[in-house]
Structure 1
Amino acid sequence: MEQRGGGLCSSLQNCVNAIHKAHTSHSTKHIIKGQIIIQQSRGESVPGSAASVQLFSCSQVDPNTGKGKMSGIAKLRDGKTNKHSGIKITTYEIKFHVEPEFGIPGAIVIKNQHKDRFFLQSASLKDSGNRTIYFDCNSWVYPTHKTKTERLFFSNTSYLPNQTPKALVELRKEELTSLRGDGTGERKEWERIYDYDYYNDLGNPNKGSQHMRPILGGSKTYPYPRRCRTGRPGRNQDNQTETIKLDMYVPPDERLSPKKLSEFISNSIQAALHFVLPEAKSLFGKDSGNFESFDEIRDLFTSSRNQVVEGWVAEKLKRMVAPDLFKKITQASKEKPTEFPLPRIAENELAWKDDEEFVQQMLAGINPAVIQSLETFPPKSKNGVWSTIKQSHIEHNLDGLTIEEAMNQWRIFILDHHDYLMPFLNRMNTKGVCAYASRTLLFLRNDKTLKPLAIELSLPSSSGGEEIHRVFLPSMQGTEAALWQFAKSHVAVNDSCHHQLISHWLKTHAVAEPFIIATRRQLSAMHPIHRLLDPHFKDTMHMNALARSVLINSGGILEKTLATGEISMELSSALYKDWRFDEQGLPADLLKRDMAVPNPDRPGGVWLLFEDYPYGADGLEIWAAIKTCVTNFCSLFYTNDESVRSDDEIQAWWWEIRNVGHGDKCNETWWYSMTTLTDLIEALTTLIWTSSALHAAVNFGQYGYAGYPLNRPTVCRKFIPEEGTQEFAEFLRDPDKYYLQMLPERFEMTLSVALVKVLSQHTSDEVYLGHRSSVVWSDNEQIHQILKQFRENLLQIEKRISERNKNPQLKNRWGPAKITYKLLYPDTSNDGFKGGITGKGIPNSISI
């Protein structure tokens, strides 16, 4: 239609103008291209166009929101799928239309409207300047109908809080707020909320009073580190005790990968089938008794043991475990039996009896951080009770020295399992358990090996009077030699309990969890210290949750296998009273135990009393390398002490660790003040050491040493017989039979072997010290150079460890069993699959 003058009607003209404007506007927009990479788990579909992505600018602020300007929406379409190491990887090509002044992308937000969750591995973008921006995500993205919100990821550029681009400031604050939650309600699988709670889920009062356990944490009586809050409902009989679930809440970013979880379950099933189920009669209330000979114990490791699950055993199992797990067990039982190697200590059939092997393991075994120099003779307990070990017991065995001369030369040492055990012995020595508290004295020979001097075994008096002591001296033949061997076994029981409950569980797993929670709650994902620590937290919280379900809970594996039984976790709480974070670092620990003296020119600033202390020598080099890496890293971001004090996130992080995560220790004066760069470096070095090297030292040698129960029994069922008693007569008739009856029963013994077999295995997806799971975790080239130098330092340490292990003068690096000390060998090759029992390699984190 025409109007006068030949022009278009106004409505049509407006329409044309709008189309032109839209076309002009669209043609002036810039395009940012990129890739989204998703991992597919078995049974889960990729989201496709049901998932969408938007970008936040880090350089341009939207005045309406106060946050970075947002791009248009890009949907995930036409992904290409490939397989890598058995995992399906789907890559989506995406592009975003942005305003010309959009600037640099600093964050992405994912909206998942698919029915399933998906695992977002990474994203990468190319901005208008052809610069590549990476997002190292590695996290689950759950459907928005569950989460009620989109998922945010920041790029791999790190910022201290006061250096955050203005466009990202509000996003940084909002993300941290969402991670803290409000402290109420039961946590759901898809929630990413980190909060603290006591260990109030270890007991099961619904099963009766014998399954009640004290709440650990929050009291002077039972202090303890905090765990992650799940908000599970209380039990019917005791609303303060939470219900236990195998699938209890763990924040999504802390969960094992599907591949690792499958591998862990498979390893556990195979170990149970091989070691435990052949003794299933005792598992289901039918006593299987003791081993009849040492050969029977060695036969545990042959591949011919029956693994078939059938008959009444299968019916019992079916009622005890979840249907999917029962299916996996029965399937595995029909497969070809898995080969289980003979533990290294048993390759030499008599090595476990050797005195030299007994003491060498105190320096290079799986509990090498307990031995200490003797300060006074005779030893004296904290409550003033003197040992009954006399000068006449040992002075003839000091290579011509007097006791005073030997102590002045720092040549008498003690393995002390007396003071902390004594208050618990009466409660431990029930239900067939026969435990002593022990003191073992040792002498440092001229060749720097140790020899035992005496073992004192102690019991509380039944009348509440003085302690009852027995002293045993080394002997090579006859009755005295057999009694000496019994005494060594009781010491090994003490050391096994201490190792599993204190050195392993408490001082690595338990104390680390509050640091992880505080890091997630108070340090933004874009904070450089968060990025430094992140790989050292991998899988720890999930492993701790599994431990609370099956290991440390009422009726769990540790209660069934350790002499400490039902008071196991209570004992660890008692030892936590003496725990200090500033003594968790290796140099401070060595000084505390008088195993070293200060020397600023040596690695770690200390000098070992004798260099042939494998754990100390290798550990100090690892410590020094970690500290150098941490120092160089921190110096990139902090120029002086004031820059640490003014970092609000670091200050909130440290305050929360001290006052909440380790809140029962909040009034201790030994905490670092966190007012200097030195404080920060020491704290971070200690935390990384604990999560990597310390855990490796006490964990991955377990099968090699404790997998052979004769070497490290976990419980004794008989006391050492005394002359004139019926037990002594039985002992004289058949010392070996008496000894076998003293050891754990068949089921407990095989359960213990199965446990250490699982714990000693490296998983195939492990990431080792000096490495990262992604090469694009940071966009800072200086950081990559620091990590490269760290790897080079570790490589040099490996060479020096290998040289020490070949040095015939360093006899403590391989005892009579000829097990070379490699538990602190970094193994930096990163040459692909390392799964299995290797006895070496330092994973970044407490991931098993």
Structure 2
Amino acid sequence: MTSLETDIIDNGKKLIKGTVVLRQKNLNVVGDAVPPSILDTSSVALKLISASKHDGSGKGKIGKQTFLEGKNSPFDVEFEWDRHSMGNPGAFYIENFLQHEFFLVSLTLEDDLHHETINFVCNSWIYNTEKYTTDRIFFANKAYLPSETPAPLVYYRQEELESLRGDGTGERKEWERIYDYDVYNDLGQPDKNDSLARPTLGGSNTLPYPRRGRTGRKPTLKDPEAESRSKFVYIPRDESLNPLKASHSVIKTLNLVSQNDTPRLRALVTLENDEQPEFNTFEDVLLLFNGEPPNDFPIPKVIQASYTAWMSDEEFSREMIAGVNPNVIKKLSEFPPKSKVDSQLYGDNTTTITKEHLEPYMDGINIEQVIQSNRLYILDHHDAIFPYLRKLNETGAKAYASRTILFLQDDGTLKPLAIELSKPHPQGDSFGPVSNVYFPASEGVEASIWLLAKAYVLVNDANYHQLVSHWLNTHATVEPFIIATNRHLSVVHPIHKLLLPHYRNTMNINANARNILINADGIVESTFLLGGYSMQLSADAYKDWNFTEQGLPNDLIKRGVAVEDPASPHGIRLLIEDYPYASDGLEIWAAIKLWVEEYVNFYYKSDAAIVQDIELQAFWKEVVEVGHGDLKSATWWFKMQTRTELIKACTILIWIASALHAAVNFGQYPYGGYIVSRPTKTRRFIPEKGSFEYDELANDYQKTYLRTITPKNDTLQNMATMEALSNHVSDEQYLGHRIEGNLWTSDSEPVEAYKKFGRKLIEIEEKLVQRNNDESLRNRYGPVKMPYTLLHPSSEEGMTFRGIPNSISI
């Protein structure tokens, strides 16, 4: 950094010197030269604003305009500023007179005379000044509760928030920074084709949903309630990725994948159409990996040690607690399990699995004893899937709702006891489902039937994972918090500073998801079983969403897989002791909670300070009543009256954005890249004895299996998508690190507490490595020899099957 000083120059003017760091659009090196036109001394202007002297109206005094000096970033800048009359700088205005935008990183003022450095961390796009209705302002990195804001800065703090809220009208433009809400009414394209119309999600009791960012695009011609679509989807400008090339490439890749337009997909899809439209053997699928282009997909981790270990019952069960969807399995506390499906619409959906089905496989223990000893579990994809089956099975899919009953063995592993597959009654829904129960088998056609039964379970799990565990419970539910934070918590608010790294790029990836992943006929609808009903399933699940249950301890307790126990680490005792996701997650959860406690208690000295914080109260009120407004009547919402409530809310939010998303995202390709082991569609029912398909299964189970699951072209597109989503980009920010380094706040105690948090995460990672080396913990690596590392905090670039980014950035 250039040495800066305050001095008195010959003409008697007092100067304060500084440096400005900025980047040109799309350049990724801090020192890159900016366009020649910026060398014009009148291209970029700045004015300091006082935090301690007002102008007579109560607003901080504004200094004289000055301009950047130099040819490359960082640029020098000199301000005419008399401390005696102007006080201490606390903010600054910046104006861009160039025709193109640039990315403003920071302004640093250093007063050697007073031994003081003032840091302004900006990280914001600056467009031509004529684009803005109010001047662009940035504040020094000191955090203030609203009541503690220096009086000369109060007006500027409030004005900036008002400019970010906008007035709720008009179509948003690329350069704008306005945060506002809208429903999900932009997924369909009714003007293009009636079959591409999709219902609005949000704003109703039948299809409730979290709100997304408002774009203000025009309504469609056929449906005035639907928003028209465009390639450009507005997000507030600073929600776009910072100008590093690596991050943008992921979005570009997904766009190409959605059109089968990557070089690899173009070649493979052409081959499929011309030569082999289907896979015939598992070996055909394996030929896609690690060969010459285009057959150069990376080999998924699940088959790196063995091509067949995924077929074992132990691995099938293990992935329910250490796979990509590890937070759905529940303990059975009563038998038979009850269904919540509306019996008036869908008849009696009580399970057909009986005690007599299960007890022969339970090591001589009866059902009551097994339940009492916490050893009976269920992966239940019946109620979520069943209401959609009749529609799905009329469209070419052939699907079942499923219940899988599992037994916790003495060695700590789970084994499946039975799978129930249910489909609608041919005479009508009111007759209830037609169900069959399947049991483990290892020989003959029965083994092939059992493998197929597991495939239907895996398809349901893959769909529920993508639409609920992943998209809804992380991406969609976090976005309203981002919007409300920017509308009501000033950038100098301590809670804004706490949450900011956990919002990075989320609105951007969500907007792109609405355009290419979850839209009508997008990648998810095209390659997953639920097809055009995908997002409706997600909305159904949102009816039961509860923010307070998204934190890991409450989630585990709700699912019955853990109980409160003050004597256990973290106050939670796992009933499945070797539960990799839960045991690793509790370590991360506890570290986040401790960090948040220290931070909140530094700024809020009492519960009264929570109640009196007008920005915090406005933020929380809007999250509940608008952002998640369809659930505003729920009684479980925090009232936000105490420090404890604020600590819980922030811990849950940080957990969702970081560790939870990492757990359900970065294992997608490592577990699902081999479509045979985790299919996303089924196209045939289980063959009945005596049928041609049954004989085919007996003679060639691989061919029948492959004709039943995801077809080849969908497989290729799905693999390419999962590969892109499972990679860490080079500029990723991981838990325990901030893009601003130590300059995110000038308060030393929070900075030190955050460093301690980072050191704790390093300790945790070392502990998790040791766990994976413990061969007595069989669920940590399983038959596929795939140690559970998804919650290891650190990672390098690429597909590493580890690493917890701060935010939902992909």
Task: Specify the alignment match of 1:56 in structure 2.
Answer: 49
Task: Specify the alignment match of 1:36 in structure 2.
Answer: 20
Preserved CA contact (<8 Å) 1:290 1:744: no
Task: Specify the alignment match of 1:313 in structure 2.
Answer: none
For the residue of structure 1 that corresponds to 2:403, the secondary structure is strand
Task: Specify the alignment match of 2:310 in structure 1.
Answer: 352
1:102-147, Cα deviation, whole Å (9 max, x unpaired)? 2211101101111111100111012462310001111100101222
For the residue of structure 2 that corresponds to 1:300, the secondary structure is coil
For the residue of structure 1 that corresponds to 2:415, the secondary structure is strand
Task: Specify the alignment match of 1:94 in structure 2.
Answer: 77
From 111, 134, 137, the counterpart of 2:119:
134
1:729-787, Cα deviation, whole Å (9 max, x unpaired)? 33233222211111221110111101100000000000100110112111111011101
Letter in 2 for 1:451: K
Q: Distance in 2 between matches of 1:619 and 1:126?
A: 43
Task: Specify the alignment match of 2:344 in structure 1.
Answer: none
Matched, 1:145 2:112: no
Task: Specify the alignment match of 2:602 in structure 1.
Answer: 636
Q: Distance in 2 between matches of 1:130 and 1:33?
A: 13
- 1:709-748 pair list within 5 angstroms: 709-748=675-714
Percentage identity across aligned positions?
A: 47
From 324, 331, 335, the counterpart of 1:366:
324
Q: Distance in 2 between matches of 1:342 and 1:272?
A: 21
Q: Distance in 2 between matches of 1:604 and 1:551?
A: 38
Matched, 1:802 2:791: no
Q: CA RMSD in A?
A: 1.9
1:582-608, Cα deviation, whole Å (9 max, x unpaired)? 101000000000010012344443211
Matched, 1:238 2:202: no
Matched, 1:296 2:253: no
For the residue of structure 1 that corresponds to 2:86, the secondary structure is coil
| CA shift for structure 1 position 240 | 1.8
Matched, 1:342 2:330: no
From 479, 482, 486, the counterpart of 2:448:
482
- 1:435-584 pair list within 5 angstroms: 435-464=399-428, 465-584=431-550
| CA shift for structure 1 position 28 | 5.0
Matched, 1:397 2:361: yes
Q: Distance in 1 between matches of 2:571 and 2:10?
A: 64
Task: Specify the alignment match of 1:411 in structure 2.
Answer: 375
Preserved CA contact (<8 Å) 2:264 2:294: no
Task: Specify the alignment match of 2:65 in structure 1.
Answer: 73
Gaps of 5+ in 1: 1-23, 81-89, 308-338, 829-833
Task: Specify the alignment match of 2:660 in structure 1.
Answer: 694
| CA shift for structure 1 position 207 | 2.1
Preserved CA contact (<8 Å) 1:61 1:69: yes
| CA shift for structure 1 position 274 | 5.8
| CA shift for structure 1 position 510 | 0.2
1:666-699, Cα deviation, whole Å (9 max, x unpaired)? 0000000100110000000000000000000000
Preserved CA contact (<8 Å) 1:275 1:300: no
From 310, 331, 339, the counterpart of 1:381:
339
Letter in 1 for 2:206: T
Q: Distance in 2 between matches of 1:599 and 1:74?
A: 62
From 819, 822, 833, the counterpart of 2:789:
822
Task: Specify the alignment match of 2:807 in structure 1.
Answer: 845
Change over 3 Å in CA distance of 1:630–1:603 after alignment to 2 = farther
For the residue of structure 2 that corresponds to 1:207, the secondary structure is coil
Letter in 2 for 1:747: N
Preserved CA contact (<8 Å) 2:378 2:406: yes
Preserved CA contact (<8 Å) 1:275 1:751: no
Q: Distance in 1 between matches of 2:327 and 2:799?
A: 22
For the residue of structure 1 that corresponds to 2:93, the secondary structure is strand
Aligned pair count reads: 778
1:700-734, Cα deviation, whole Å (9 max, x unpaired)? 01111011101110001111011133332332332
Letter in 2 for 1:55: L
Letter in 1 for 2:76: E
Letter in 1 for 2:297: F
Gaps of 5+ in 2: 1-7, 28-33, 342-347
Preserved CA contact (<8 Å) 1:279 1:288: no
| CA shift for structure 1 position 282 | 9.7
Preserved CA contact (<8 Å) 2:253 2:262: no
Preserved CA contact (<8 Å) 1:279 1:746: no
Letter in 1 for 2:311: K
| CA shift for structure 1 position 234 | 1.3
1:130-167, Cα deviation, whole Å (9 max, x unpaired)? 31000111110010122244211111000000000001
For the residue of structure 2 that corresponds to 1:234, the secondary structure is coil
Task: Specify the alignment match of 1:3 in structure 2.
Answer: none
- 1:551-630 pair list within 5 angstroms: 551-630=517-596
Q: Distance in 1 between matches of 2:145 and 2:477?
A: 26
Q: Distance in 1 between matches of 2:51 and 2:694?
A: 80
Q: Distance in 1 between matches of 2:284 and 2:164?
A: 53
Letter in 2 for 1:467: P
Preserved CA contact (<8 Å) 1:281 1:288: no
Q: Distance in 2 between matches of 1:525 and 1:288?
A: 57
| CA shift for structure 1 position 286 | 8.4
Matched, 1:276 2:262: no
| CA shift for structure 1 position 239 | 2.2
TM-score, normalised by the number of residues in structure 2: 0.93
Preserved CA contact (<8 Å) 1:560 1:748: yes
Q: Distance in 2 between matches of 1:98 and 1:764?
A: 41
Q: Distance in 2 between matches of 1:601 and 1:209?
A: 60
User: Over alpha carbons, which structure has the higher Rg?
Assistant: 1
1:169-225, Cα deviation, whole Å (9 max, x unpaired)? 000000000000000000001111000000000010012221110000000111000
Letter in 2 for 1:113: F
Preserved CA contact (<8 Å) 2:68 2:75: yes
Preserved CA contact (<8 Å) 2:321 2:579: yes
Change over 3 Å in CA distance of 1:254–1:220 after alignment to 2 = same
| CA shift for structure 1 position 430 | 3.0
Change over 3 Å in CA distance of 1:244–1:260 after alignment to 2 = farther
1:445-469, Cα deviation, whole Å (9 max, x unpaired)? 1111111100000112121212100
Letter in 2 for 1:277: R
Matched, 1:122 2:106: yes
For the residue of structure 2 that corresponds to 1:789, the secondary structure is helix
Q: Distance in 1 between matches of 2:130 and 2:599?
A: 41
Letter in 2 for 1:228: G
Change over 3 Å in CA distance of 1:274–1:720 after alignment to 2 = farther
Task: Specify the alignment match of 1:45 in structure 2.
Answer: 35
Task: Specify the alignment match of 1:264 in structure 2.
Answer: 250
Letter in 2 for 1:416: D
Matched, 1:191 2:157: no
Letter in 2 for 1:106: G
Q: Distance in 1 between matches of 2:757 and 2:611?
A: 27
| Farther off after superposition, 97-106 or 194-203 | 97-106
- 1:309-324 pair list within 5 angstroms: none
For the residue of structure 2 that corresponds to 1:206, the secondary structure is coil
For the residue of structure 1 that corresponds to 2:226, the secondary structure is strand
Change over 3 Å in CA distance of 1:275–1:291 after alignment to 2 = farther
Letter in 2 for 1:363: I
Q: Distance in 1 between matches of 2:338 and 2:26?
A: 60
